[in-house]
Amino acid sequence: MKKLIKRALNSAKEYSVWDFGILKVSLICLGILLGAYFSDFFLSKIVFVWILYLATFALILYKTFIKY
């Protein structure tokens, strides 16, 4: 587990401003997804939010564990 955390922290040092922006979008989408199940406003847009979240999350995983 320590090895995984160390690898993730070392990768985060290589992030650009765009990478941190994508991470923030991913986290915002996750918050919307969690909130959507408690609110009717986002329920009609849930498919779009899921797609956006999965795309940004996959990009962050790639950059964290494969690229850097």
Query: Taking the domains of the chain in order of start, what are their residue ranges?
Result: 2-67
pLDDT single digits (tens) 2-54: 898 888 888 888 889 998 999 899 999 998 888 877 777 777 888 988 899 89
Could you tell me which residues come within 8 angstroms of residue 17 by beta carbon, excluding any fewer than 6 positions away?
Answer: none
pLDDT band at residue 1 under the 50/70/90 scheme? confident
Question: Rounded to whole angstroms, how far apart are CA atoms 15 and 22?
Answer: 10
Single pTM value for the model: 0.58
Distance CA 62, CA 54 (A): 12
What pLDDT is attached to residue 5?
Answer: 87
